[in-house]
């Protein structure tokens, strides 16, 4: 496992301390958990953008986001992302 060291503003450190208390986690575990969750969110957002821009099919975007096609389609609907495109419909239907 690699090591990451960083400086953070005092406000962010105070929020981290509150998180540690609420979640009853040690600092390293909390930072790993928050980093992992942040990266998962980032991957989902990138996948949603790629679908909205017509760069990926829903099935490929779901794979990139680490989600099932159905869960990703639900997320796209919640975020009001249009993903039905004539160029990708056949690919998406085949993936289902």
Q: How far apart are CA 45 and CA 60, in angstroms?
A: 14
Residue 84 or 43, more confident: 43
Q: How far apart are CA 12 and CA 8, in angstroms?
A: 6
Q: Give the pLDDT band (50/70/90) at residue 92.
A: low
Which pTM value belongs to this model? Answer: 0.75
Domain boundaries, the chain: 10-95
> The tokens of 90 are what?
């056949």
Is residue 29 scored above 60 in pLDDT?
yes
List Cα–Cα distances, 36 to 39, 42, 73, in angstroms: 5, 10, 22
Residue 7 or 88, more confident: 7
pLDDT of res. 86: 59
């Amino acid at each position: 496992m690699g090591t990451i060291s960083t400086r953070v503003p005092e406000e962010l450190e105070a929020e981290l301390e509150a998180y540690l208390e609420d979640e009853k986690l040690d600092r390293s575990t909390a930072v790993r958990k928050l980093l992992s969750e942040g990266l998962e969110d980032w991957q989902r957002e990138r996948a949603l953008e790629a679908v909205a821009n017509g760069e990926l099919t829903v099935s490929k975007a779901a794979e990139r986001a680490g989600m099932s096609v159905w869960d990703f389609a639900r997320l796209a609907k919640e975020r009001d992302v249009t993903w039905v495109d004539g160029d990708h419909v056949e690919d998406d239907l085949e993936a289902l």
